[in-house]
Amino acid sequence: MLGAWLVLFIAGLVLGGQVFDRLTTTDSLRPDAESQLADRRVDALRPEGPLVIAVVGGRDVYDQALVDEVTAVTAEIREMDGVTEVEDLYGAAGGRIGADNRSSLIRVELERDLPDDRREQVEDAVAGALHRIDAPEVLVGGEKLAERAFADQAIADAALGESVAIAVLLVVLVLILGGFVAGAIPLAAALATVSVTLLGLFGLTALTGVSEFTVNVVTLLGIGLAVDYALLVVARFREERDADPDAPVADLVARTTATAGRTVLISGLAVATAMAALYAFAEPLLGAMALGGAVAVLLATLAGLTAVPALIAAAHRRIPGARDSTRVLAFRHAVAAALRRRAEPGPGLLARLAAFAQGRPAPTALAVTAGLLSLSLPFIFAVNLENSDARALPASAETRKLQEVVQRDFSGGQADPIVVVVDADPAGAHVRDFMNAVNTLDGVLRIQPRPDILAPAAIIDVTPEGETAGQTSRDVVRAIRALDPPFPVLVGGAAAELVDYRDSVANRFPIALLVILLSTAVLLFVLTGSLVMPVKALLMNALTLLATLGVLVVVFQWGIGDALLGFDSWGAIDLTTPLLLFVFVFGLSMDYEVFLLARIKEEWDGRDLTRRRTVSPTRASDHAVRAGIEKSGPVVTAAALCIGVVFLGFLLGDLIAVKEIGFAMAVALLLDVTVVRGLLLPALMNLLGEWNWWAPAPLRRLHERWCTPRTSSPEPAATRTPAVRTPDKDRALR
């Protein structure tokens, strides 16, 4: 098994690394959206090549030395192979001067259909020439240059975040598991998962576009889940070995896989299904994220079921026991002495929280629910979702500075125009009536037909009041589309793209939600035999998600605390972030839900006959919850700590969209592992009592027949006492 993983690991290093040469800028919208159709129609009516835009500022625009220098540079650019047109304040009609009267705009159009490599060479040559202009401020950018800046920044962020996360993870894992070899096992599984995931993404590039953002998110998700699953398996192996130290290692690994492995399988399927639900939205970026994420999750699951048990079998002598880890005990004793506590560690964090919640279940459940709903209010009532543009780059990025200057000094702070394409003779009465109707719509500031459209068609720029992505702009888009003139009309532009994206998400969200609900219900029913558990889990996950999104709005949209996280808020949330968090939070919340419920279910099934006869079912259920959380809580806490380290690696980068994911996932983990799993879960299970395990009789019989482990399998370590052999017993066994 280790040999097979080694081959895959090497293949991932050799071939998977080539995925970075095949990354593309993936559109957020599907090709048949009206705004996309409008963009292609505009391009057909008025073809235009890629643009390079520059702002020259800080000097009197009519200073003769500056005029001569700009004229010389633009003349040089006009002679470049691959450049079709250059406009500036001095040498072409339509030159623009800034509102401060100390800046001017230079516009360079490149040839259409240049190969990417050639286009980048021309862009670099143009930018280099423009930067030679002697002025206090020369900013150069453009759509393609911004895309390249995004790509370069995403790759740099991924390299930094992953390297730091892996280094910190190794230290954390060694402390948690008590030795370098033991700590290296989860990390080896994570590295193998990432390598093979890159190999899968390399194959995926043959089917669809894969962006740098996809690689960032998918690889870090693979690292986190692989470490989670490996921690669970290693912890269960140590528990099995402590309960039966004389058993052969093959038997111990088999018992581990039969218990923790089943949990890993169900958890992995739940997270993979949540990732696959992204595909229901049918947008190219989300589709690539869904496929790549599902590959990463399945590979992390496979590593937890095969590579980790194989590593344990090979290195089991170097794995300290749960009770005799000298490093961990030494650390704990030092802390205990400093705090004048007893030397032996007491119940874990989750166990203490669960005991508190079970002592006062109703007030705890109400307080936690109210608190989480309060955190969600900023998202519900004040979220502003926009497409990421150059503003999502670091404040120091040249392309972001350029966009801000152009918007402030050359566009008067007005919204980007809504582009209306009319396929009819613009001189006709119907077109004139349509233009008059558009001009009188509420929220329209002005309309301006573009000149020199040769076909019997018209392109009309409609400038709305307010901001580009504001409510007024979106209302104007919908109002124009509702006019229904007697000729074809397409509405495009930034505001129309946002409207199309929101409508697409709203229309397809029920499908994605249904996929997650059904898969979660089925998998948790397989694990627990209950229909109440899936409903409760979904409601708790929804609370975690809404609270996380509310905190995200406060920090990233309102900018409260942005300086501490090293970014400048651009007043909005990237519109793909809530969807990604929807599946990530649901998936990882299910991860820890499965970890806890699997052990609680073991405790519930392990009730002996005496307890069953003398203790009420409600008290027995409370005992199962408390015992299950006490046994699995340390693993869940350690796993959350490790995956939290991974997601905090997102914050080290400079792309705001990536920071949003990392920050939100860290917040979600903190809320989920402490407040939701530590307080709300035991409180609700205490209130429900035996009803936690309810299912209709036919489904209960189905679960007992097909989903319950056979009685011939080894009993859980939690219910066994360590075996003591004697010579007579050994002879009898022989």
Q: What is the DSSP letter of 323?
A: S
Q: What is the pLDDT of residue 125?
A: 95
Cα distance between residue 697 and residue 717, in whole Å: 30
Q: What is the pLDDT of residue 710?
A: 56
8 Å CB contact between 370 and 558 = no
CATH topology assigned to domain 417-492: Alpha-Beta Plaits (3.30.70)
pLDDT band at residue 94 using 50, 70 and 90 as cut-offs? low
8 Å CB contact between 373 and 560 = no
Range from 166-180, 203-217, 226-240, 395-409 that averages highest in pLDDT: 226-240
What CATH number labels 364-386+507-707?
Answer: 1.20.1640.10
Higher-confidence residue of 452 and 348: namely 452
Q: What is the pLDDT of residue 478?
A: 96
Burial environment of residue 152 by CB neighbours within 10 A (0 to 12, 13 to 18, 19 or more): exposed
Q: How far is CA 668 from CA 375, 520, 549, 555, in A?
A: 12, 19, 9, 14
The pTM of the full predicted model, rounded to 2 decimals, is: 0.80
Average pLDDT over every residue of 325-351: 49
CATH number among 1.25.50.10, 1.10.8.640, 1.20.1640.10, 2.30.30.90, domain 1-46+178-346 = 1.20.1640.10
pLDDT band at residue 728 using 50, 70 and 90 as cut-offs? very low
Cα distance between residue 651 and residue 157, in whole Å: 9
In the chain, where does the domain assigned CATH 1.20.1640.10 lie?
1-46+178-346, 364-386+507-707
8 Å CB contact between 421 and 490 = yes
Cα distance between residue 49 and residue 425, in whole Å: 26
Range from 224-228, 452-456, 726-730 that averages highest in pLDDT: 224-228
Q: Other CB atoms closer than 10 Å to residue 482's CB: what's the count? A: 8
pLDDT tens by residue, 139-171: 999 888 888 888 788 778 777 877 888 888 889
Cα distance between residue 401 and residue 88, in whole Å: 19
Q: 520 is written with which tokens?
A: 């979660």
Q: What is the pLDDT of residue 322?
A: 63
Q: Per DSSP, what are the bridge partners of residue 106?
A: 54
Mean per-residue pLDDT over the chain, rounded:
84
pLDDT tens by residue, 633-655: 888 888 888 888 888 877 887 88
| Residue for token pair 């892996």 | 166
Average pLDDT over every residue of 78-93: 87
Cα distance between residue 407 and residue 410, in whole Å: 6
AA letter at 131: H
8 Å CB contact between 274 and 583 = yes
pLDDT tens by residue, 521-554: 888 888 888 889 888 988 999 999 999 999 999 9
In the chain, where does the domain assigned CATH 3.30.70.2520 lie?
417-492
Taking alpha carbons only, the member of 249, 237, 217 closest to residue 304 is 237
Average pLDDT over every residue of 20-37: 84
Instruction: Please report, rounded to a whole number, the percentage of residues in the chain having pLDDT higher than 90.
Output: 37
Instruction: With a cut of 50, say whether residue 558 has pLDDT above it.
Output: yes
Which residues in 369-394 are b (16+ Cβ under 10 Å) and which e? bebbeebbebbeeebbbbbbbbbbbe
**How far from chain centre, in Å, is Cα 215?**
11
Average pLDDT over every residue of 663-687: 90
- Could you tell me if residue 254 is left (phi over 0), alpha (psi between -120 and 50 degrees) or otherwise beta? alpha
Q: What is the pLDDT of residue 647?
A: 80
| Residue for token pair 């006009």 | 78
The least confident of 240-249, 265-274, 292-301, 320-329 is 320-329
Q: What is the pLDDT of residue 344?
A: 40
